[in-house]
Amino acid sequence: MSAQSKKSAKSKDVVAKIKSDSEKSARRNLLEELFNDFHSSRHQVYLMNFFRGLFFGFGSVLGATILVALVVWLLGQFGDIFPPLADFVNNLIETMQQRR
């Protein structure tokens, strides 16, 4: 490779990097402007995040409850096929009812 072609390849790399960095910076600035437009006051941001957290927690608890109930029900259905499993499920259900 000649010195001229090395220089040309290097300058192309530099131009590509500058273009890439410029695009990233433009995207970052656009996202920042959109965020600031939607959330002009910190009070709104804190309130929205509070409700997001509340609903996330409620949804997690509700989802886990449904999942556990479904697993216990499925284990109960398979108890006829595998009797030790039925004993385990019955003990689990009794323990849960005693805790109430």
pLDDT of residue 39: 65
Q: What is the rounded CA–CA span in Å between residue 54 and residue 66?
A: 18
pLDDT of residue 67: 96
**3 state SS of 51:** helix
Distances 10 to 1, 53, 70 between C-alpha atoms, Å: 12, 50, 62
Tell me the one-letter amino acid at 96.
M
Of 39 and 89, the one with more pLDDT: 89
Upper half-sphere CA count for residue 73 (Cβ side, 13 Å): 6
Please determine, for residue 60, whether its predicted confidence score (pLDDT) is greater than 90.
yes
Residue 60: how many CB atoms within 10 A of its CB?
10
Of 98 and 45, more confident: 98
Give pLDDT tens digits for 13-46.
767 777 777 888 888 888 888 777 666 677 887 8
